[in-house]
Structures are given as C-alpha cells and as structure tokens.
Structure 1
Amino acid sequence: MISTCVRRLAAPLAAALTASLLVAAPAPARAAEGRYAADIRRTEYGIPHISAKDHGGLGYGYGYAFAEDNLCVMASWALTLRGERSRHFGAEAMSDDAVDPVSNLASDVYHKSVHASGVLRRVLARPAPHGPGAEVRALVDGYVAGFNRYLSETGVAGLPDPACRGKDWVGPITATDVWMNLLDLGRLAGSSSFKEAIAASGQEEEETKQPDRKKKVSAPGSNAYALGREATRGGHGMLLADPHFPWNGSRRFYQVHLTIPGVLDVSGGSLYGTPMVQIGHNASVAWTHTVSHAQRFTLYRLKLVPGRRTTYLVDGRPEPMGRQEVSVTVRDAWGATNTVTTTLYTSRYGPVLATGWTEGTAIALADVNAANLRFADEWLAIGAARDLAGLRRAQDTYQGMPFVYTLAADAGGETYFADASVVPHVTDEQADRCRAGDDPETLILDGSTSACLWGEDADAIEPGVFGPAAQPRLARADYVTNANADPWLTNPEAPLTDYPRIFGDTRTQRDLRTRVGLDMIAQRLSGDDGLGAPGFTLDTLQRTATGKRNLSAELLRPDLRALCRAKPVMTASDGEKVDVRRACATLTAWDGRARLDSRGAILWREFFLGLHRPRRRPDGGVIPPRSWWKVPFDPEHPLTTPRGLDLANPVVPAALADAVRFFRANDLPLTLTPGQAQWYGAVPVPGCTEAEGCFDRIRARGALGEEGRYEDVDTGSSFLMAVELTPSGPRARTVLTYSLSADSTSPHHADQTELFSRGRWVTGRFTEAEIRAYPGLTTVSLR
C-alpha cells in the first residue's frame, strides 16, 4: 500500500539495481590550457548571463557562476549522491534531500546501491539519443571544471558562505556527481521515494510490514498557462511558468541566461547542479512544466518459493534474487568510523522492497526512469527550438521527460500541451488482468507471470514505455493550462479523454487550485476580473497570477455567514460552547485574499483545514470527516462542483469553534495576517495553501504555533516567469522567490524574496542591448 502522494509524484528508479560494480569515480575534471572560455555578465539581482563559443565553455562559465552563489549546497549534495553522509555527519542525522529526507544511513545505502548497480556506466556508454549526446557531455565536463576552478581560486578556508567554510567535507566535484544528480532528478517521482524501503530490503525485521501509505514527501507541483493569439490582446503567444518546488536544498531553481552565438540563446530556471535550462524561453518559444499525474513505476508482487525467502517464481520457474553488498562508512558520536555492510536484493523487475515481504510474497519496484538521462538532451534541444514544431520534434526524438507535462507557446500564437513523459506501458486491459493488489491508488502487478511485463509501442524509443502516439496532447490557438491535475481539462472546450488510465483519470473531481486557475483564465477572457478589457497582456498576466485569490473562501464564506447569523455560539469538537461573533465579523470583513495585510486570512485557513481533521469520540475513537460540501461533485459540471457548506454537518461549526478557541487561548488576534504568520528567514511571505484553493500557493511547515507563526515556508511558487513572444523579441518578467544564492552573506540571498513579498517582478534582459543597458553590469571573463 503506497501513499497517494508517492504515487502522484511517482517517477523513477528500479529496473536497474542489478549487481555489476561501477568503477571508481573519475578524477575531478580539469580545464586544459585554453580548452574552456566563457564570459559571465551579471545584471540586477545577480542574474548571470553566460556566453561562450561552444558547449564546453558554456558549461565552464555556468559551473563557475553557480559555485559563486551556491557552492555549499552542491558540496553537501555531492556527498549525498556518493553515499558519504554518514562518514561526516553520522548515521542517524537526516539527509539533505529537500523532497524526501531520510536518515543518512538509509540515504547512503540507497545511493551507493545505485552506483554499485552500474546503471550510470551503462547509460553513459550508449550513443545518443539513448545516452547523452556530445553537446550535453561537453556541458557537464565544462560545468565541473568551472565549479572546481572557483573552489580552487577561493579555497575551502576562504569560502564566503559560513555554511561550509573550512569544512573537511568540501572538495571538488566530478562529472559522476553531475550525472548522478541528473539520474536522481529523473527518479524523483519513483525510486527516490522508496529509499528507505530499498535500503532495508535485507533486514528481516521489516518482513511483516506493508508499504507505508502514510509516507509524506514535499511533493513538487506547479501551475502553467500557455496563451495563444486568440487569448492575448496583442495576438502573440504568452506563457506563465509557476513551478512549486522546494525553497531549500538541491531542488531549488537557479536563474540563468545561456548563449552560444548562432547556436543557443535561452533564459530561465535551471535546477541546482544541472547545466541546462529546464523552464524558460528563447527568442520565439517559451515553455514550462508541471508535475504529471501519470504513474512512473509499477510494483510487482513476487510469489516466493516455499522455504526459500530469496527465490521467486516466474511462469512456474524459480529465479533467485540478485544480491548487493553495500558498505557505508559511519562516524559515531566520538568521531570514530566503522563500516556498516547491508545486503540488498533485486529481481528481474528491479529492487525488492523491505516493505510487504512475507514468507510467501515480496514486492519489487519497476521504475520506468531507472536508466533515463534522455531528458538532458531533450531540454537542450527545446532551448534551441524556433517554434512549437521544433519543440515537438525534440520531444519525439528523445522521449525523455521524466515526470512532467510540457506546456509551451511560440511567437506565432500557437500553444501546446503534452504529457510527453516516460510512462510504463501498462494498458487498461493489462492493468485489470494483472492487478495483484486491492489498493485502487497503487498499481501492483502479478510478478509470477511474464504476461504482466510492460508492453511495447512501435513508435517508442525503447521497450516498456508508451510512444508519442499514445500520449495526451493538445494544440490550441486560445490556451492550454495545467495545475498538476490529469490532462482531462487542459482546456475545458476540448477535454482530453482518449488515453490509458496510467496517464491519469477523467471525469473526476478537480482540486481547488485547478479550479481557481481555470476560473482566472475565464474571467480574464471575459473581462470580468476587474483588470480591464478582455484578453491577456503581460501586465494582466502578472496581476492574474499573483492576485492571491482563495477559492475556498469564495465558495464557502456565504454559507458560513448564514451559519454565523443562526448560531453565534457554536460547539467545539470536545463539546465546549464558544462565542464566535467576533470571528464571524472578522471573516466577513476579510478581503478574501492572501495578501500580506489580509486581516482574517489565517483564521480562515485554520477553520478550513479544521474541516478536514478527524474528530475524537468521547471514548477516544476517531470519527473520520465526512463530506461537508453542500453540493457534491458532478462530472457534468466539474468547474463549479463541489460547492457550498453543508450546515447540518456538525464538523462545520466545530471547526470554527476550535479555531477561535485556539486563537483566544494563545492571545492571538483574530485578524492575524499572512505577513504576520508566515516568513522565509526575515522576510514575510504572502499567499496561502493549495488545499485552500490558492493559485501561486505556498506551504509553511507545521501547524500554527502558539506565538502566531508557522515554521518557515519550505515549498511553493519558486520561479515565476511571465513571457510575451513579440515579433521584436521576448518580453519577460520573473521573480525567483527565494533569491539566487543560498549563501546567507550574499547580497542576493533574499533580495528577490523581498520583491516577491511586495508583489514585484524583475524585468527580464534578453537581448544584447538590454544586457548592456544595465548600469551596474559586471563582467568576468574566464580563460
């Protein structure tokens, strides 16, 4: 039983944890005399514009610039990818994985098992498009050389960032580190979510446990609009990118502009440690991604041979599991080190998990992205595309997107949506025939028959995945959009329905973030949003995206007001009577937004989230919450249902009474604002949660504290980019919500965070004239 969160953010590892050992990591790349050359120019907020004559030089400049801003993050992450955290920080401390942190020992065992499997060596040995092409390899080698040059020039003792200055764990990186980072990125929605279950597969104390459905991960998400000529005032293509990735650690975006004259000119966001732009624009194409609902792995239930715990049956014939001996160096509390050796097990499908292993059965993980690096070449090719036809050719050539939808627009005013990602080839018929588990949220197939192996498509780049012809795709001249829902209502005027279930559902309830995003488009196209004449401009796109609407309040507040008038005193969940009149007055006066100064927004959040909490019975039992919607979901009206509050449901008054009592018990003002309650470091942060129906959502860790503060924001809108593709060139506005540098001493550690807090954006500089016009321009030439 695997959690919905893991399934939805499900992407890669698996079918490659077999046992050939990887040779020792190569020595750090060094720049030969005259081999690399690059110019790094920085404009406002430290944004680097890197130019070079070839891909090696471009990577060299990029690696150097990134190290200037974020060397400590990459140095720590390199230890993680090598499986060396326990050596430096102890086995019990938590890893630095921003999406799914686990103990250092579990992290080290997992990552060393990936190295030992030989998967990276095998992928790098393959020619393009199955393995990396020459340009991507040159980018990686140059990136490593540039990063290491900065470290060599500065020295570990001279690093400006106190987070790793003088630390013995800081050192040069290798090309293997960068490739492993890319491989791990591809597995983000799959194997990486099973690190603990993979690392513990040989531990017998795990035998009786089932896969944990309550596992929590900091799941990335995103919003995206691709707007065509029929939706924009100027008749140009436009794009909104709003990825929701972690605000800390190695999964942050770095803003960069990369240029090889006549070959590549692309600007946008690039995840830490990756030398290519993942979300961005060039002169005539803009694209972004949102996390796809397609499944990235399947589990296989193995039928074990009686009395032989590590042998399973396929088509009636016994197959022994493969064994991996993984050794990790561990530092104890006194500084001494010792070696811990763990035995892991693999199957023809992939690694065998510790969870779900009994005397008769075991569970194996088959990860469709276990050996996928094709997305690196695909992103590089997308960045060079001149129109949507070129973008589609790039996707059809490499077929490597690991776990994301693609939304794009071009200067001709066309738009495009596709789930061009890597998806296991499991047809609906095969899923029904081979299903071996009764959990509807997790696809567990029968591993005792080869008839349940993944299928093949003639147009697929490799066996076991769906080819382009099966993928949900839509091209429009008005718009396509996605907010992590399945493809069904990419554009409600042209619902997508003809795709296998493994890609996602149809005619199911949309979450509130999806609904508010579609409503924002509808209101802008009709002109009913108060922003002027119908149709998008760059200004109205920005204002729409950051309007801080709270759809739950819009749908439920009228009924709550009626309840307040009827019941000024409400019963809390433990039976206490609570006077809610002042709270009702506060919520009535609230502007319904999640701006910094929105008085009552936090009270609403605590009430709304309280509707979802299980209640305790007097005998200590739990009463699961039942639906409190007045009008249930109707697939014929998916954009307007469910709606309204069922005032007869006792959960509704109890949720408000509980929230009011918490505020009073802690002397918190009922008018508590987002600017008072949620912060990132020293900067107050506007916005509200996905559950409430906020578009550019944020998430602060933990519950509201007694002092009226949440823990720091850790996930949400990260790299906002609005682009208009005009005949005279792109016009872009961006904001990197957590700023360019993780170094607390850097002037660019929180400067864009302060912009985001105030609702402001950075005007993009793309052309040579725009870059040179910046009065504070600085240039570093590397040779």
Structure 2
Amino acid sequence: MIRPALRRPAALLAPVLAASFLVAAPARASAAEGRYAADIRRTEYGVPHISAKDHGGLGYGYGYAFAQDNVCVMASWVLTLRGERSRHFGAEAASDDVMDPISNLASDAYYTYVRSSDVLRRVLARPAPYGPSAELRALVDGYVAGYNRYLADTGVARLPDPTCRGKEWVGPITASDVWMNLLDLGRVAGSSSFKEAIAASGQAAKKAKPDDGQDRPEPKAAAPGSNAWALGREATRAGHGMLLADPHFPWNGSRRFYQVHLTIPGVLDVSGGSLYGTPMVQIGHNASLAWTHTVSHAQHFTLYRLTLAPGGRTTYLVDGKPEPMGRQDVQVVVREPGGVPREVTTAVHTSRYGPVLGMDWTETNAFALADANAANLRFADEWLALAAARDVAALRRAQAAHQGMPFVYTLAADAAGQAYFADTSVVPHVTDEQARRCRAADDPRMLVLDGSRSACLWGADADAVEPGIFGPAAQPRLARTDYVANANAGPWLTNPAAPLTGYPRVYGDTRTRQDLRTRVGLDMIAERLSGGDRLGAPGFTLETLQRSATGKRNLSAELLRPELLALCRAKPVMTASDGTKVEVRRACATLAAWDGRARLDSRGAILWREFFLGLNVPHRRPDGTPAPPDSWWKVPFDAAQPLTTPRGLDVTHPAVEGALADVVRRFTAAGLPLTLTPGQAQRYGAVPVPGCTEAEGCFDRIRTGGELGGQGRYPDVNTGSSFLMAVELTPAGPRTRTVLTYSLSANPASPYHADQTELFSRGGWVTERFTEAEIGAYPKLTTTRLRS
C-alpha cells in the first residue's frame, strides 16, 4: 500500500558578555559581499534583532546570526537537499528529516530527482508573483553571503558546535540550497510526504506485482499540529486585537523555529518565528498586525490512478490513447564500507500528472502524484507581504495577490480589533461534482482520481493566480470582532456562533466529530469570555491569554473521570484483559486526588494517560466479535451538539475495566509509582517537560518518541508546542510574550541551548523587546556590526 509519510512533521556558541559593546566583525567578505551591511543585537536568551538598510543586508545579518546558533543543523540539511547523504554517511542510515526519516539512498534519489527536474530553474525564471520578487532574491542572496561569512570567519575546524566541528561535509551554501529548502517546505503536505514512493518508481516499473484487487492507497498521515486564536475587540478587556500562536512542530532537526526580529527602517519591522533556513518570519507580528498558522485540513494533492496499456508497464491510457511515461535517470554516490565511493543509478518515472509512485504498481495500474505546490515559491513573498501589512485588510490583499500559502490556515488580528480566519492554501481545483464523477478509490480522506480520462484534470478559476487551483472566492473565510480559532480541525467551527459551510469538500467536511483538542480550546475561550475559568473578570488580557494557553487541562479526564471513579467505588477489584483479578483501590485514590492537569507535579496524570490509551486499544465483545472503536463513550457524537459530544464513560463496556486493571498491573510489575508525574516521565534532554497528549484532549500538547518505559520514562519529547507567542496590539505598540520551547540553539555548548526549555518547564515566558527603547534598555545588550 502507498503510505505517504508525514511523521513526527545544532547550534553555535553566541557571544554572552557582561556589558553592552560594539564588535567589528573581521573583514573577510568577498567583493560580491561588499554591498552588504547589517547590525545584529542580541537580548535575553540570545534573541537576535537584525537591522539593515535593504533586503540584501537584512538577509546578510540573518544568515550570519543563524549560523552562529545552528550551523550544524543547516550543514546537514543542505546535504539532504543536495542528495549527498549517502556519499558521507552510507546508503542505509536514516536521513535527517525528522518528519519522514527514510534511508539516505531513498532521500538522495528523491532530492537528486527534484534538482535535476529543472523545476527550480523554471520557477526562478518567472516574474513576480509567479516567481520571486527582487526583494526576496536579494534577501536570499544576502542570507547565503551572511551564512558563508560566518563559516569563513570561524573556520570549520574551529566551529563551537562539536556536532560538526572539523567535518568534511560542512561547507559554504548556495542560493540554490536556500531555494530548494523553500521549495521543499512548500511540498510538505504533498511531494515531500511521498519521497520514498517516488524514489522507488524505477524499481517498481521493472517488477510490477500481480493484481490483487487491493489497489487503494492509504490516507496520508497527520501533519504537524498547531493551535491559534485571533481575538477581536469584543473578546478582549481593553478592546484591542490579540493573538495566540502555538505551532506544534518538531523539536529537533530542520523544521524547528528560530526566533528573530527583522528591521529595515521605514520598510519592515517584524518579529516572530522563522523555520530553519528560511530568511523570513512565518509566524509573527509588526506594530499593528499579528498572524499565525495552523495546518489546513484541505487536500493539497491528488493521486491519479493510471490505467496501463496492455503489455506496457510504462505506458498508460488517457481517453483510450496510449501515452508513454517519462523517465528521469538519477545517479547517487554511495559511500561503501571502507569509504570507497560507488555510483548507484535508479530512475523516476513521470506522467502528465506528476511523478509515478513506486508502490501499488501492478500489471494493470499505477498511481501518479499531482502536487498543487510542486512549483510553488509564492508563499515566501507572501510572508514578506504579511510582515509589511498594517491591518487585516492589507493582509487579505497580500494573500489575494500571491495566493501562495502551501498547506496552512491563516489567523490574524489587528490593533483595531478585527479577527480573521482563512484557508488561502493552495488547493487543487476539484469540485464536489468532479470528485464524485472521477473518484477512483472509495476513501473520503484522500482524493484518488481516474487518470484515464482527461475530463478528470483539475479545473480553473478566473480569480486564481494560475490554472488548476481554487481562487480566493471559493476559500473558507471568516472575519469577526469576537474571535476565530483553530486547532487543526476543518474550517466548520472556526467560531461556533457562525459555522462555516458551503465551501468545496476538498477544503474539509462539516458536521463531523471534533477531536478533543479542538473541543477543549473552544471551551477555554468560552470560559474566558464568561469568566467561568476563575481567572478574573470576563474577557482576555495578555496575562489571562498566557494562563489560558498553558493551563494544562485534560479534557478526557474532565469528561470521563467521574464515571470511572464511580466504577471504582463499586468494584475495587477489576478484571484485566487476560482475565486476571487486580486490586485497583490505590489507583482509584490516586486518580481521585489528581488535579486533572498535566503540570510537572500532577500526581496521577501519567496513570490517567496510560489508562486512556488502553481504552483505545482494539477490544472484543464477550462473544468474541470486534467492538467498534470509541464505543465506550456513553453519549455518542451528535452533529447538532458537536462541542459536547461524545461524552461520558460507559462503565459496562469491557474495555473500561480491562484498561484500568491492565495499567495498574503494569505499573506494579515495573515498580512504578501510581503517582508518576509528567515531570518524572517526560524530558527533553535533561529538562522535565509538562503537558499531555493530543489524544487525551490537551490544548498545549506534547508528543514523546514512544511508549512509557520500565523506568517510568518516555523517550524524549519530539513534538509539541514549539514557538508560543501571545500578542496584544495596543495603540502604543505591541505587548508580546514568547517562549521557544526547545531554545534558540541546537549546539549543546551554547548558552542558548536549553535556557528557554528550562523557562518553559517552569511555566515562564519571555517579555519581548520590540521597540528601539526596549532593545536599548537591555543591560547586557551585545552588538555585532557586519561590514565588508
């Protein structure tokens, strides 16, 4: 089966000095770099504030600052983007893509195919908005020059990070590397989740498997999650716009956020989170506008099922006429044992729709991938435009002009108190009627269309920037003066008072069950607006926004614990799944005393998690037949009550008693305390991490790398709240609190390697310095002036 893999979607010692002073960087820039100039000022936790007179200089300062903190991560990722990992680390080792860790050989084959496909050259040759603007090109060129300047000044042999110090694979980067990184980011919800299948195309063409009637691809795995609230003037105590950004991206590797403040006087002044290797802010704010993103539920690709011509494995039929597949040979250099290089040649087959996937290729059918973002770089200029927009109206104009957001919703608020939600992501133009007519596999979660009919090609909108995608008029949007919110659900209940409907189904369904994280987030907003959360008078302030966002509520416990405790009182001895009788009195007492949160010291939080996860293990009825999943809810889902159903625990369901007895027996056998806390069980390196999982209904959720071990520890946290940003947009300027959960630098020798992680562990936030007066008031300010 086709299994697209969006899964588990460092650093250099920065100067820390006791007093403010000016550092003149060594003059080693090339003649080409002579036009660049930038200042880098660092405040608390090493956050860089970069200023320059133009986009080239801004990129120069940013590239230099980022290399100071994360040169090793970037150097490794560049090898990936160039398809050169096998040359240095061997073919079988796993690549460094934490969202899809496939073998180096498969990774290299995919990226070599992309580089040699000419897609990047063609996109870069196009004028704006189809290709990059002059400002974006200057920013990228400057970023490359700044990164390389740091590397030249420091020397590979003297890099502060031991991870890559003196390694042969560390070297200068090129503009092509940065453009490839941006192109790959745009493809996260499409081509980049099928890397292994694309790389296997050549082998599959040689040995197609027999038809077995099971040629339906599996749905794509879940992308990284996020939370976002945009609050309008009716939801805030002072009548200002406010925004909460809480992206849930990986805590390791190249998809981490870097916190940065970028300024070109009179042109640009933006602060926020920027994904590694991208020279612009993706989630942030300026003086009067703040915006963030969550991952869209829309389809951003379709598969086409190809009907192969009789006797021809690489020829397919369209409207009854044979059409040969294209073939692109790919050469990858592999390091053999002993260091001897060997060239491996494979092939990628292509179709009019896109690359042919090397899985589920039978004697009569194959599948091709059509990715709406395959040649999209427009989002990079769109982020620059958002950074310069002054209000929601300007943000809307920028998004309509570029139409480039690859796979995310946008939520925004401005100083006038307008809140806004839109799915402006790049979505294939497949109407509901066309989907019904052309669907080639009965799977409502992923579009598989009939590739044997040209009538099943994507359509076009007059207001779309290019053919094949929906234009702005079709996109789900909502403007409010109270709030809009999203936690990676579809657009339907962005604001329950005004449900969104009427959009093409490719954007997501309506009247469907909402996950517990969505439900708890909307309940948190409702509680704050009514004052029912005990945080003071109704309405949000910056302080109550922070407290709400990090309250560590566990909705599954709120919905199910009362019935479980009642069962405990009635049955202090329960039957495990294998029939064993287990005494559960102490466990029940622990759960009764638990505060219902996932704080560091919440005694019983881990016991609850393991019980709840046990509930979701497939179970059988007493007669041996499989029980439907989630059948232990007392009240099932009702589309008329989407925020309060399902609810309650059916204590007569055999899964309930078995789940509690099983976890008690497991804890007892391992010698684990039933009072095990998140602070004891969850770590990131040496730092204890609060929080609970999305499945439990946790808003500020975390995900660990595996199951609870016998020592009472989960593998390290690898995903979760990553760059928290709470912004109040006042007439006097923004008031902002942030925390970068995994800290600024992946370099274990850096003072900025775990400082914000420790702050996050304690529940603290960083008070952002945005104005010149705020930056200048930092008593330990350091400044690096970059000049040729």
Aligned twin of 1:24: none
Note the C-alpha offset of 1:648.
1.4
Note the C-alpha offset of 1:34.
2.8
Note the C-alpha offset of 1:98.
1.5
Among 714, 717, 741, the alignment partner of 1:713 is 717
Aligned twin of 2:26: none
Among 749, 752, 765, the alignment partner of 1:748 is 752
Aligned twin of 2:341: 337
Matched, 1:419 2:423: yes
Aligned-partner SS, 1:412: coil
Note the C-alpha offset of 1:207.
3.5
422-431 or 199-208, larger mean C-alpha shift: 199-208
Please tell me whether the aligned partners of residues 59 and 146 of structure 2 are also in contact (alpha carbons under 8 angstroms): yes
Aligned twin of 2:172: 172
Aligned twin of 1:101: 101
Pair 426,644 (structure 1): closer, same or farther in 2 beyond 3 Å: same
Aligned twin of 1:500: 504
Aligned twin of 1:36: 36
Note the C-alpha offset of 1:213.
6.4
C-alpha distance in structure 1 between counterparts of 2:215 and 2:545, whole Å: 43
Aligned-partner SS, 1:40: strand
Note the C-alpha offset of 1:8.
14
C-alpha distance in structure 1 between counterparts of 2:3 and 2:343, whole Å: 33
C-alpha distance in structure 1 between counterparts of 2:31 and 2:500, whole Å: 50
Aligned-partner SS, 2:202: coil
Aligned twin of 1:161: 161
Please tell me whether the aligned partners of residues 206 and 355 of structure 1 are also in contact (alpha carbons under 8 angstroms): no
Aligned twin of 1:283: 287
Question: Which residue identity does 2:767 align to in structure 1?
Answer: T
111-120 or 626-635, larger mean C-alpha shift: 626-635
Aligned twin of 1:430: 434
Pair 519,5 (structure 1): closer, same or farther in 2 beyond 3 Å: farther
Note the C-alpha offset of 1:616.
7.8
Pair 437,708 (structure 1): closer, same or farther in 2 beyond 3 Å: same
Question: Which residue identity does 2:445 align to in structure 1?
Answer: E
Question: Which residue identity does 1:196 align to in structure 2?
Answer: E
Aligned pairs for 1:191-210 (under 5 A) are 191-204=191-204, 205=207, 207=209
333-342 or 178-187, larger mean C-alpha shift: 333-342
Matched, 1:556 2:560: yes
Aligned pairs for 1:731-742 (under 5 A) are 731-742=735-746
Question: Which residue identity does 1:47 align to in structure 2?
Answer: V
Please tell me whether the aligned partners of residues 4 and 220 of structure 2 are also in contact (alpha carbons under 8 angstroms): no
Aligned pairs for 1:74-153 (under 5 A) are 74-153=74-153
Please tell me whether the aligned partners of residues 5 and 100 of structure 2 are also in contact (alpha carbons under 8 angstroms): no
Note the C-alpha offset of 1:742.
0.3
Please tell me whether the aligned partners of residues 486 and 505 of structure 1 are also in contact (alpha carbons under 8 angstroms): yes
Matched, 1:187 2:187: yes
- CA deviation string 1:62-95 (max 9, x = no partner): 0000000000000000000000000000000000
- CA deviation string 1:736-765 (max 9, x = no partner): 000000000000000000000000000010
Aligned pairs for 1:175-324 (under 5 A) are 175-204=175-204, 205=207, 207=209, 219-324=223-328
Aligned twin of 2:474: 470
Please tell me whether the aligned partners of residues 7 and 221 of structure 2 are also in contact (alpha carbons under 8 angstroms): no
C-alpha distance in structure 2 between counterparts of 1:710 and 1:89, whole Å: 29
Aligned-partner SS, 1:169: coil
C-alpha distance in structure 2 between counterparts of 1:610 and 1:512, whole Å: 17
Aligned-partner SS, 2:436: helix
Aligned twin of 2:25: none
Please tell me whether the aligned partners of residues 302 and 361 of structure 1 are also in contact (alpha carbons under 8 angstroms): yes
- CA deviation string 1:425-480 (max 9, x = no partner): 00000000000112232211000011000000000000000000000000000000
Please tell me whether the aligned partners of residues 60 and 145 of structure 1 are also in contact (alpha carbons under 8 angstroms): yes
Aligned twin of 1:26: none
Please tell me whether the aligned partners of residues 304 and 448 of structure 2 are also in contact (alpha carbons under 8 angstroms): yes
Aligned pairs for 1:493-642 (under 5 A) are 493-615=497-619, 625-642=629-646
C-alpha distance in structure 1 between counterparts of 2:620 and 2:337, whole Å: 42
Aligned twin of 1:70: 70
- CA deviation string 1:309-365 (max 9, x = no partner): 100011111100000100100012221110110011000000001112111111000
Pair 620,634 (structure 1): closer, same or farther in 2 beyond 3 Å: closer
Question: Which residue identity does 2:419 align to in structure 1?
Answer: T
Please tell me whether the aligned partners of residues 8 and 719 of structure 2 are also in contact (alpha carbons under 8 angstroms): no
Pair 6,377 (structure 1): closer, same or farther in 2 beyond 3 Å: same
- CA deviation string 1:574-599 (max 9, x = no partner): 11111111000000000000000000
Q: Give the paired residue count.
A: 765
C-alpha distance in structure 1 between counterparts of 2:573 and 2:332, whole Å: 60
Pair 626,407 (structure 1): closer, same or farther in 2 beyond 3 Å: closer
- CA deviation string 1:622-651 (max 9, x = no partner): 876451110000000001000011111100
Note the C-alpha offset of 1:306.
0.3
Give the TM-score normalised by structure 2.
Answer: 0.95
Aligned-partner SS, 1:496: coil
Note the C-alpha offset of 1:619.
13
Note the C-alpha offset of 1:201.
0.8
Note the C-alpha offset of 1:241.
0.1
C-alpha distance in structure 1 between counterparts of 2:471 and 2:294, whole Å: 20
C-alpha distance in structure 2 between counterparts of 1:292 and 1:30, whole Å: 43
Aligned-partner SS, 1:429: helix
Matched, 1:357 2:349: no
Note the C-alpha offset of 1:127.
0.2
Question: Which residue identity does 2:262 align to in structure 1?
Answer: L
Aligned twin of 2:666: 662
Matched, 1:647 2:651: yes
Question: Which residue identity does 2:91 align to in structure 1?
Answer: A
C-alpha distance in structure 2 between counterparts of 1:477 and 1:148, whole Å: 46
35-44 or 207-216, larger mean C-alpha shift: 207-216
Aligned twin of 1:21: none
Please tell me whether the aligned partners of residues 298 and 443 of structure 1 are also in contact (alpha carbons under 8 angstroms): yes
Aligned pairs for 1:668-679 (under 5 A) are 668-679=672-683
Aligned twin of 1:395: 399
- CA deviation string 1:163-201 (max 9, x = no partner): 000100000011000000000000001111111110001
Question: Which residue identity does 1:285 align to in structure 2?
Answer: L
Specify every segment of 5 or more residues in structure 1 that has no aligned partner in the other structure, as ranges.
10-28
Give the TM-score normalised by structure 1.
Answer: 0.95
Aligned-partner SS, 1:202: helix
Aligned twin of 1:16: none
Pair 4,520 (structure 1): closer, same or farther in 2 beyond 3 Å: farther
Specify every segment of 5 or more residues in structure 2 that has no aligned partner in the other structure, as ranges.
10-28
C-alpha distance in structure 2 between counterparts of 1:295 and 1:234, whole Å: 39
Please tell me whether the aligned partners of residues 231 and 484 of structure 2 are also in contact (alpha carbons under 8 angstroms): yes
Matched, 1:348 2:352: yes
Aligned twin of 1:367: 371
Among 663, 679, 685, the alignment partner of 1:681 is 685
Please tell me whether the aligned partners of residues 74 and 250 of structure 1 are also in contact (alpha carbons under 8 angstroms): yes
Aligned-partner SS, 2:606: helix
Pair 413,565 (structure 1): closer, same or farther in 2 beyond 3 Å: same
Question: Which residue identity does 1:164 align to in structure 2?
Answer: C
Question: Which residue identity does 1:689 align to in structure 2?
Answer: T
Please tell me whether the aligned partners of residues 7 and 99 of structure 2 are also in contact (alpha carbons under 8 angstroms): no
Aligned twin of 2:14: none
Note the C-alpha offset of 1:32.
2.2
- CA deviation string 1:555-577 (max 9, x = no partner): 00001011111211111111111
C-alpha distance in structure 2 between counterparts of 1:693 and 1:333, whole Å: 48
Please tell me whether the aligned partners of residues 6 and 222 of structure 2 are also in contact (alpha carbons under 8 angstroms): no
